[in-house]
Amino acid sequence: MKILGVGSGAREHAIAKKLSLSIYNPKIYWIGENKNPGIVRICMKSGGEFIQGSTTDPEVVSSTAKRFNVDFVFIGPEEPNFHAVPDHLERLKIPCIGANRSVALIEMSKAEMRRLQWEYDIPGKLLFQTFKSAEEAYLVLEKYADSLTWLQNVALKPARQAGGKGVKVVEDRQIYLHEEKQKFKSKHVSWLEGYMRGYGDIEDKILVEENVWGPEYTLQCFTDGTTVLGMPMVQDNKNAHEFDIGTETGGMGSISGPGMCLPFLTIREYEDSIRIIGKMVSAIQDKTGKRYHGVVAGQMMLTEVEGPTIIEMYSRLGDPEALNVLHTLKTDLVEVCLAIIDERLSKIRLEFEDKAVVVKAIAPKGYPDNRSLAIGHPVAVDEAKVSEIGCELFWASCNLHEDGRITTAGSRLVEILAEGETLPVASAQIEKAIPYVKLTDGWGLFHRSDIGSEALLKRREELAERVRRLYLYRVEKGTVGKRVDWLPGVGKVDPVSILKNGLRR
Ligand code: GLY
């Protein structure tokens, strides 16, 4: 068997490793923008090859698949899905684990995702409105926030998938009155507009959503369009620094287990979340007439208004979340892929080891806001020592050169994984491995020591408990998902109907 993988981060390193362990003993071929040393090694060991090339050009990916005559292609990141790589492969009759462009819209456009959720009345919704520019969004906020209370506490996001970055929560309308905050606002407006200028592929530019609070989690599932099989819940930690401080990143580390739930969430919340994701898959297929083959994930939050609530959808595995679930997956990943391709996923028993798993990313300073500073630093990693300590290292954003040197490529450099009886044990294990990752030119690296620690888990548990108490009270009173607002001179109104008629009256 021959498989072609797409993408070059730590998620893809983890996918390559899992595929290579299959009883099918496949030859692993890979295409990625950066030469990931971990994936290169796996390809060579299996008798395959690593090709450095574009992952978003459908022609490049499909000609590579044809050149090696592979049995199927496994797409790691979201951008190839957004660029219709799976669609192109499908036309050439090359099986692919990857959401085609139409269904991947639930990730690419956060606005379309929300519209779909409202249209099909899928639980876990948030009030939202879209705008053509950030300036227009701020103007509407200023105009209506006096009369519509949900507008007084909102999240402003780029309407296109931005790798978890760029969300600005406007909790306080007084933001407009203070000079300092005005400056902050303008900075955010230009960032949002600059970001969206890079993408002509969707109409909505800015999404304003009611702001919610609660513990976040990612629920990743395999789907063949009919069956949706859930993996263990994972919590990603997006802020750059300890105790959720600092800019949002693609993810500084993740926790999962033991078991299918996170320690601060319940089995009922897991089951409700799976149902929501299943409904999203059915809805997008119904809307587009296309089958969903691959991975679908809900990046979710337990909220007071709706319980399990969708924040974003992924049309692929998360990074670092993929590392957690693939580490404990007992079922042969190639078997799962073949079952997706043949649409017989309902016959597969997806099994996972009952372990706690922690992943921590190590990134060069400069990431994520000044990436140019984080590029080109020479790397020295003592992989033997990391594994002697009982951890596993996955290469992420870096480049392997012809002469064997490895340099940083601007994002997370490596992700280190450890398993344990408990999350704090696994977290402490990783700390022992951190000193064995270095940059030899003296440039700094950073990571979050708190991921999986007792202290952070306690905070998550307290937060979940507070939200759950309020949510269960709503369940008891029959007010789940209900919001009441008021307008001067009108009185009590249903913000949902206002939302449908638009805010710009
Ligand atoms: N962990 C965030 C992402 O995969 O987008």
12 and 86 assigned to the same domain: yes
CATH number, residue 16: 3.40.50.20
In a domain, 175, yes or no: yes
Quote the CA–CA distance of 419 and 397 in Å, as a whole number.
Answer: 23
What are 123's two structure tokens?
Answer: 């639980």
Quote the CA–CA distance of 247 and 491 in Å, as a whole number.
Answer: 40
Final residue belonging to a domain, choices 159, 191, 211: 211
Arithmetic mean of pLDDT, 313-333: 98
Which 8-state DSSP code applies to residue 7?
-
User: Which residue puts its alpha carbon closest to atom 3 of ligand 1?
Assistant: 318
196 and 134 assigned to the same domain: yes
In a domain, 41, yes or no: yes
Please give the number of the atom of ligand 1 that sits closest to the Cα of 316: 4
148 and 74 assigned to the same domain: no
pLDDT digits (tens, 9 = 90+) for 122-140: 999 999 988 888 888 888 7
- C-alpha 237 – ligand 1 centre gap (Å): 10
Number of domains in the chain: 3
Q: Which domain holds residue 173?
A: 127-211
pLDDT digits (tens, 9 = 90+) for 242-277: 999 999 899 999 999 999 999 999 999 999 999 999
403 and 446 assigned to the same domain: yes
Amino acid identity of 422? T
CA contacts within 13 A on the Cβ side of 147: 16
151 and 72 assigned to the same domain: no
- For every residue of 46-63, DSSP letters joined together read HT--EEE--SS-HHHHHH
In a domain, 318, yes or no: no
360 and 445 assigned to the same domain: yes
92 and 37 assigned to the same domain: yes
Across 77-86, 90-99, 181-190, 338-347, least confident range: 181-190
Quick check: CB of 107 below 6 Å from ligand 1? no
Ligand 1 pocket test: which of 299, 324, 326 has the largest number of ligand atoms within 8 Å of its C-beta? 299
In a domain, 442, yes or no: yes
Quick check: CB of 250 below 6 Å from ligand 1? yes
41 and 82 assigned to the same domain: yes
Across 221-225, 248-252, 278-282, 495-499, least confident range: 495-499
- C-alpha 332 – ligand 1 centre gap (Å): 24
Final residue belonging to a domain, choices 417, 450, 483: 450
79 and 153 assigned to the same domain: no
In a domain, 368, yes or no: yes
pLDDT digits (tens, 9 = 90+) for 168-182: 666 554 444 455 566
Task: Please choose, from the candidates 260, 254, 318, the residue with its C-alpha nearest in 3D space to the C-alpha of residue 451.
Answer: 254
75 and 132 assigned to the same domain: no
In a domain, 228, yes or no: no
Arithmetic mean of pLDDT, 217-244: 97
CATH number, residue 132: 3.30.1490.20
- C-alpha 488 – ligand 1 centre gap (Å): 42
In a domain, 347, yes or no: no
In a domain, 43, yes or no: yes
Final residue belonging to a domain, choices 211, 242, 265: 211
Quick check: CB of 251 below 6 Å from ligand 1? yes
Strands 414-420 and 392-395: antiparallel
CATH number, residue 396: 3.90.600.10
User: Which residue puts its alpha carbon closest to atom 4 of ligand 1?
Assistant: 318
150 and 84 assigned to the same domain: no
